[in-house]
């Protein structure tokens, strides 16, 4: 089925060009966020990610800077001109996040949160819908329909790994899902090799596999000093590993007659 593109700022996702979104799991400080944004941009990423409200498994771990991050995120966006993706964890955050994010991310834990999906059906901004870690492909597609049937057709799917019996990796990347949604839906789909593996050394190979399977892009976690990250340090790439991922990705895309969206 042909993919309908979703416009994000002056770029599109789901068109002929492959799009890379990168940034830290969590926005931690102005310095951390700005240096990461500049590094990923110079390596060829077009868009920026960064968690502000974090849904953590353990309540005593870092929960994100919350509204304290708004001003610094706006400054970094202004300086880099990169469209920004961040997770919305509660329908009551729509108003505040509206002038901070360019794309509302729905996290894996909220794929079944129909109140949140319907609320995002009322906004005029794209929604990145992550697959629930226990969500079947049909449930994920129906979750996307909650957003579109409430009035917002700008939905991008994201495969981020599912829970299986395997424990060597945080999740199991379901490459089938990428191929399936490309062939059976008209929604763009991107891959998140960071959460899909949970291990930085596996991020590049899985990213390349996703591109080969037909993904429209990637969302990748990058941190200036992964061991010191306040969340998801084990899966974050440092700047050098991210640049290596980008150069290997370009070669895979060329072999597939595709290319990276023109960079800055």
Q: Is residue 128 within 8 Å of 154, Cβ to Cβ?
A: no
The site partner of 108 among Mn ion, ligand PEP, none (C-beta below 5 to 8 Å per kind) is: ligand PEP
Of the pair 109, 142, the CB lying nearest ligand PEP is at: 109
What single-letter DSSP state applies at residue 122? T
CB of 67 to ligand PEP, least distance (A): 18
Of the pair 156, 258, the CB lying nearest ligand PEP is at: 156
CB of 191 to ligand PEP, least distance (A): 11
Q: Is residue 104 within 8 Å of 126, Cβ to Cβ?
A: yes
Measure Cα distances from 47 to 13, 127, 257 in Å: 11, 14, 23
Q: Segment 164-223, which members bind ligand PEP (CB under 6 A)?
A: 195
Choice from 13, 22, 25, 202 touching ligand PEP (CB under 6 A):
25
The site partner of 130 among ligand PEP, Mn ion, none (C-beta below 5 to 8 Å per kind) is: ligand PEP
Interacting residues toward Mn ion by CB under 5 A? 25, 232
Alpha helices in the chain (DSSP H): 30-42, 70-80, 94-97, 114-120, 137-149, 175-184, 193-197, 200-213, 239-255
> Considering only 37-45, 103-111, 179-187, 206-214, which stretch makes contact with ligand PEP by CB under 6 A?
103-111
Instruction: Examine residue 108 and tell whether it contacts ligand PEP (CB under 6 A).
Output: yes
CA dist 224 and 70 (Å) reads 21
Residue spans of beta strands (DSSP E) within 31-187:
47-49, 84-87, 103-106, 127-130, 155-159
Q: Segment 43-82, which members bind ligand PEP (CB under 6 A)?
A: 51
Enumerate binding residues for ligand PEP (CB under 6 A): 25, 51, 107-109, 130, 160, 195
């Amino acid at each position: 089925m042909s993919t309908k593109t979703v416009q994000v700022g002056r770029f599109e996702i789901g068109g002929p060009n492959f799009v890379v979104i990168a940034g830290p799991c969590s926005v931690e400080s102005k310095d951390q966020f700005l240096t990461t944004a500049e590094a990923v941009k110079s390596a060829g990423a077009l868009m920026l990610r960064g968690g502000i409200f974090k849904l953590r498994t353990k309540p005593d771990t870092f929960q994100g800077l919350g509204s304290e991050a708004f001003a610094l995120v706006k400054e970094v966006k202004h300086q880099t001109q990169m469209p920004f993706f961040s997770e919305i964890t509660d329908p009551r955050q729509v108003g505040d996040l509206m002038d901070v994010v360019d794309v509302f991310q729905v996290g894996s834990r909220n794929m079944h949160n129909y109140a949140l999906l319907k609320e995002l059906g009322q906004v005029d901004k794209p929604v990145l819908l992550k697959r629930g870690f226990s969500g079947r492909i049909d449930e994920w597609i129906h979750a996307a329909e909650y957003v579109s049937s409430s009035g917002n057709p700008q939905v991008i799917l994201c495969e981020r790994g599912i829970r299986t019996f395997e424990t060597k990796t945080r999740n199991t990347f379901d490459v089938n899902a990428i191929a399936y949604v490309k062939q059976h839906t008209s929604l763009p789909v991107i891959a998140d090799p960071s959460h899909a593996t949970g291990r930085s050394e596996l991020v590049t190979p899985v990213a390349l596999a996703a591109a080969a399977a037909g993904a429209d892009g990637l969302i990748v976690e990058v941190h200036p000093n992964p061991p010191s990250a306040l969340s998801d340090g084990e899966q974050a790439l440092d700047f050098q590993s991210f640049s290596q991922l980008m150069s290997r990705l370009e070669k895979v895309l060329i072999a597939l007659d595709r290319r990276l969206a023109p960079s800055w």
